[in-house]
Amino acid sequence: MNDGRDALKWRKSSYSSSQGGECVEVAGSSGRTIPVRDSKDATRGTVDVATAAWASFTNALKR
């Protein structure tokens, strides 16, 4: 499945390690959503998170 997301600039979580485990990648906003995917298997697709929900999530992590 190639819906154009392969061309997005993906950023891996700074908490991801080279040994695998819980790894996520996030791409820049594509409008109203933030694409999130599993970096271990990027072919499995993405989860689109509303930008407001993503902002709330990341702000809560900073507290």
Model pLDDT, residue 51: 93
Domain residue spans of the chain: 5-61
Flag whether pLDDT at 42 surpasses 90. Answer: no
Is residue 38 within 8 Å of residue 44, measured between CB atoms?
yes
Question: d(Cα 11, Cα 23) in Å, to the nearest integer?
Answer: 11
Model pLDDT, residue 6: 66
- pLDDT, one tens digit per residue, over 2-34 is 566 667 888 887 766 666 666 889 998 768 899
| Phi–psi pair at 13, nearest 5 degrees | -55, 140
- On whether the pTM is more than 0.75, the answer is no
Q: What is the CA radius of gyration of the chain?
A: 12
